Amino acid sequence: MSERATSIPPEEQHDDQDAESHADGDDTTAGAPSADAPVTGDGTQPEPVTTGAESVVRALENAGVEHAFGVQGGAIMPVYDALYDSEITHVTMAHEQGASHAADAYGIVSGEPGVCLATSGPGATNLVTGIADADMDSDPMLALTGQVPTDFVGNDAFQETDTTGVMTPVTKDNTFAADPDRVGTDVSEAFALAREGRPGPTLVDLPKDVTNAETDREPDEPATPDTYEVTEEADPTIVASAAERIGNATRPIMLLGGGVIKGEASEACRKFAIKHEIPVVTTMPGIGSFPEDHELSMEMAGMHGTGYANMAITHCDTMIAVGTRFDDRLTGGIETFAPDAEIIHIDIDPAEISKNIHADYPLVGDADTVVSQLARAVETSPQATKWRAQCQQWKSDYSMAYDVPEDEPIQPEFVVEALDEATSDRAVVTTGVGQHQMWACQYWTYTEPRTWVSSHGLGTMGYGLPAAIGARLAADDDQEVVCIDGDGSFLMTLQGLSVAVRENLDITVAVLNNEYIGMVRQWQDAFFEGRHSASDYGWMPEFDKLAEAFGANGFRIDEYDEVADTIEAALAEDGPSVIDVHIDPQANVYPMVPSGGDNGQFALAEDQL
C-alpha cells in the first residue's frame, strides 16, 4: 500500500552519535529488524523506516527539528530508541515541566515548533503546565507522549492517563496515534499545525505497540489537514475603509501584540508606524515588536504598563491593534478601554475578532500581509502633531525614573537596568512570574523581536530557568541568555540547573531575591490590609551556594557597588551562573491598574489605589 517506499542506495558508513549509554529496554515485543543500522546525515539518503517509532523520528527530521527536550520512560522508549540513531540532539531534562517550557521558549526564539517528549501517565501530566502555557501564548510546540499499548488503553494500566482527554482543553489539536502506518504522518501533521496559522501546541499520543510495530511507511511531508484553512489576506474593502479612518485620525496609536512577532510582522509594523508617525504601544507578549528606544515607542500598556502607554490607549481616537487578543490584564475594565477609539483589529484568528473588544474594522489575515495591505492603502498620514506632543508630554509626566537611596537595600529596577547595560541588544531575557517579571518588562529596553521570553497568559512561576535552557539552544551564540527570576519562581524548577551544567549552557540567572512571594505581598499590602498570609518565605536557601552544589557558578549581591562587577563576572563565565541578588523586600511594582480598573486611572503608588 505504500507508494512512497523509495529504493535506497547502499549507504555510506557514518559516525554514530556518541551518546553515553543505550537505555536498558524492558520491552522486546515486535523488535525492529534493522535497529542498529546507522542513519546517515548530510544529505545522503536516510535508511528506510522499519518501525512506527522510526517513522515518528523521521517525521521530526523531515520537519527540520534539531533539538528535543524530554524525559525517558517505559511507554516512550521505542521513540527514544529511534532517536538514538538520529541527528536530532535530545536534551534530557530534570522534570517534564521543564521539557515543556524549554520547548516553548525554543519555539518563541526560533519561530519553529519546539519539541518535547515524555512517557505516559506522570510524564504526560507533568507536561500539562508547559503545554497550557504555550496554548495561552500561542507558541508553536509539538509534544509527543508515550502511551500504554492500545490493548491496555481504558483498563487503568500502569502509567495510563487519558492524555488526549487531559490535553484537549490546552492544545490546538491532539491525536491518539492508532495506526503504525500513519503514525509518522500524524507527527508531520501535528508539527505543521503547531506552526501554521495561529500557532499553538499540538500533541501526538503514541501507544507503545504502535511505535514498536513494523512499518515501512515513510511519513508524509509536514502539511496541515485539508480542512484547516488560514486566511492570509484581509477583505480589501475593510482595508480601504480602515485606511481612510487612519488618514482621518487625529489621535492614532498602534497596539502591537504577540501576533506581530509570531507573524514576522515587526518590520512591517515598524515601517508603518515610522512612516505615519504613529505612537506605538505593545502588549506584554508584543514586547520586542517595536524598538523601545524609539521616540514613538510608548512601551508596554496594561496592568503594570507605563503610565504613558495607558494614557495613550485611553485617549486615542483610532487604534490599530495587531495580533492581540485583548487580554483583561491589558484592557482593564472593558467600559473604560479606549472609550473614544475606533478599533482596527488585525488578527489571523477570526475568533479573536470582537471576542473581548468590538472591532470596528475587522481585518482577518496574516499580520505581515495585512499590515502591508494597509500600508499600501493609506494615502494620507494622520494629522497628529498635537497628539504626538501630548504623548511625549505624558512620557515625561509619568516617567519611569526611580529613586536609588544609597542607604536602602538594592532597588530591583537598578539591577534590571544593569543587566541590560551589560548585555548586547540581542540578548534574550526569560523570566519567572511575579514582581521581578514586571520589572523585567519595565526596565529592560527591548529592541528586537524574539528576545523577550515569558509566561504571559498562564503566568507560570518556574518558567524562567527551563525557558532559558530552551532559549539558549535556539539563540545564536552571540546572544546572551539572561533569566531574570524571582526567588519563589526559581525554587519551582531549579532542578533544571543540573541540565544547564551537564549541557554546559551559557546562561545567567539573576534571582531578584526578596524572600517574598513578592507580587502577592504587594497585593496583600494594597488590598488585604497588609496581612501577609503565606507570602513571606522568611527564609530562602543561599542560591549562590546551591548553584555551586549543582556545579554552576554562584554569585551573590547585597550592595549597590557590587552590582556591575558581579554581573560582569557572571556573564563572563562560559557555563551557567546564578546571581542571588538580595533586593529591597518592600519594593513594589508601579504603575498599577487594579483588576478591571480604568487604564487611565493607574496608580503610581499604593496610596492611589
Partner 1 sequence: MSGENEQDEPNGSGYRRGLDGPAPEERPTPDGRRNEQGIRIDPEVEAKQAPRRTVISTLVEHEPGVLSDVSGLFSRRQFNIESLTVGPTTDDDRARITLVVEEPDPGIDQIKKQLRKLIPVISVRELESDAMRRELALVKIDADRPAEVAAVTDMYDGKTVDSCPETATIEITGSRQKIDAAIETFEQFGIREIDRTGTTALARGTQSTAAPASTTESTAEAASHPQNQYAPADDD
Ligand X SMILES: Cc1ncc(C[n+]2csc(CCOP(=O)(O)OP(=O)(O)O)c2C)c(N)n1
CA distance 571 to 510: 10
Catalytic residues: 96, 158-159, 208, 519
- The angle that helices 96-110 and 122-136 make with each other, rounded to 10 degrees, is 30
List the single partner that 336 binds among Mg ion, partner 1, ligand X, none, CB under 5 to 8 Å by kind: partner 1
Query: Minimum distance between the CB of residue 365 and partner 1, rounded to whole angstroms?
Result: 10
Binding mask 462-501 for ligand X (x = CB under 6 A): ------------------------xxxx------------
Measured from the CB atom, the residue of 326 and 439 that comes closer to Mg ion is 439
Restricting to residues 569-608, which ones interact with Mg ion according to CB under 5 A? none
- Rounded to a whole number of angstroms, the minimum distance from the CB of residue 436 to ligand X is 4
598 binds, among partner 1, ligand X, Mg ion, none (CB under 5 to 8 A by kind): partner 1
What part of residues 398-437 is at the interface with ligand X (CB under 6 A)? 432-436
- Are 69 and 126 contacting, i.e. CB atoms less than 8 angstroms apart? no
Residue 288 makes contact with Mg ion by CB under 5 A = no
Contacts of 540 (CB under 8 A, 6+ apart): 487, 491, 513, 515
Count of alpha carbons within 13 angstroms of residue 184, beta-carbon side: 29
Among 85, 352, 487, 580, binds Mg ion (CB under 5 A): 487
Spatial distance between the Cα atoms of 421 and 293, rounded to a whole number of angstroms: 13
- With binding defined as CB under 6 A, does residue 516 bind ligand X? yes
Q: Do 478 and 424 touch, CB atoms closer than 8 A?
A: yes
CA distance linking residue 40 with residue 16, whole number of Å:
9
CB 337 within 8 A of CB 255: no
Q: How far is the CB of 349 from partner 1 (least distance, A)?
A: 7
Q: Which is nearer to ligand X, 257 or 432 (CB)?
A: 432
Binding to Mg ion in span 501-540, by CB under 5 A: 514, 516, 518
Q: CA-based diameter of the chain, in Å? A: 78
280 lies in the site for ligand X, by CB under 6 A:
no
Residue 20: all three cell numbers together: 553515553
The identity of residue 379, as a single letter, is E
Instruction: Select the residue interacting with ligand X from 273, 517, 567, 579 (CB under 6 A).
Output: 517
Find the shortest distance in angstroms from Cβ 518 to ligand X: 2
- Residue 237 interface partner, choices partner 1, Mg ion, ligand X, none, CB cut-off 5-8 Å depending on type: partner 1
Distance of CA 601 to the CA centre of its chain: 30
Cα–Cα separations (whole angstroms), residue 565 to 42, 413, 571: 44, 17, 10
Among 359, 362, 303, 290, smallest CA distance to 331 is for 303
A 10 A CB-CB count for 10 gives 5
Q: How far is CA 22 from the centre of its chain?
A: 32
Q: How far is the CB of 150 from partner 1 (least distance, A)?
A: 12
User: Smaller CB distance to Mg ion: residue 189 or 487?
Assistant: 487
Q: Which is nearer to ligand X, 326 or 516 (CB)?
A: 516
Among Mg ion, ligand X, partner 1, none, residue 520 binds (CB under 5-8 Å by kind): ligand X
Using CB under 5 A, list all residues that contact Mg ion: 486-488, 514, 516, 518
Using CB under 6 A, list all residues that contact ligand X: 432-436, 459-461, 486-489, 512, 514, 516-520
